[in-house]
Amino acid sequence: MRSFVFNIFFGITTFLYAIVAVIFSLVPGRALMMGSLRRYTKLMVWGMRSIAGIKVNVAGHEHVSHDGPIIIASKHQSYGDGFVLFSQFDDLSFVTGDHLEKFLFLKRILAKMNAVVIDSCGGEKVREKFAQTSQIVREQGRRILIFPEGHLSEIGTHHRYRKGVWHLYKDFGCPVVPVASNLGQRWNQNDWKKHQGTATMEFMEPIMPGLEKDAFMEILQERIETRSIELLDMDNLGALNPDNIGKFKENHVALEKRLKREAEAKAAIKSGETS
């Protein structure tokens, strides 16, 4: 019953705030848009707690007190991740795939929010987009959220970590704060069913600038995955299948995109050899 009521609340609230967002996207400036987004995310966190019975604790705030720009690189197990993280900041930019732009009016809304919208297939276009955006965000001293896996992961598992987060780290020259989570135990991916209980999202010690790509990616993934597994509540499993803990799982969407990127790279190499 809690899941049913929360899902109704989620749908109605999202619909109403979507209308507000469309209206505010036509108003000069970002203040109204970002204010409505903060209220929306805080309301959704309230609904998660009071309606669905998901009590989310956020730990490690001391690691995001850094003055100036920081990159927040979070585990992504649940639709609820974004609500919780956005509710913690006054102004937060984020990286998202261009698949969101297919929804009516969303392209305008994302532009107003200063979101970094990238080609979901990855490649050189993504790199160029990061480079174009980095100067603006760095000058504004903003925080930017990225989900390094690029896709929702089933609770206990992980996707392949994508290199875009390293390009941001390199371009910005600022700390990256890893975020671990077990929220997927209570709201796994975009599942209809919610599971009552406590969940934790934890900001961890920043990774300071200066690391090379391979070293950075290894540290980032190790910290996020290790701590996310440590946070798992084995006394109240919720959506967790213990057999999945630590497994690499690539869903069909991620697989198709990776194969497409690899095919395009091979075609480019072949074209270069024949030219």
- Return the bridge partners of 206, or none: none
Work out the number of other CB atoms within 10 angstroms of the CB of residue 220.
Answer: 21
> What's the whole-number mean pLDDT along residues 181-201?
96
Is pLDDT above 90 for 246?
yes
Contact of 247 with 156, CB cutoff 8 Å? yes
The yes-or-no verdict on residue 88 having pLDDT over 80 is yes
Q: Is the pLDDT of residue 98 over 90?
A: no
Topology of domain 55-270, CATH: Glycerol-3-phosphate (1)-acyltransferase (3.40.1130)
Cβ atoms of 55 and 49 closer than 8 Å: yes
> What are the boundaries of each domain within the chain?
55-270
Residue 42: per-residue pLDDT:
96
Class of residue 237 by CB neighbours under 10 A (exposed 0-12, middle 13-18, buried 19+)? middle
Evaluate if residue 243 carries a pLDDT over 90. Answer: yes
pTM: 0.85
CA quadruple 59, 214, 137, 121: dihedral sign? negative
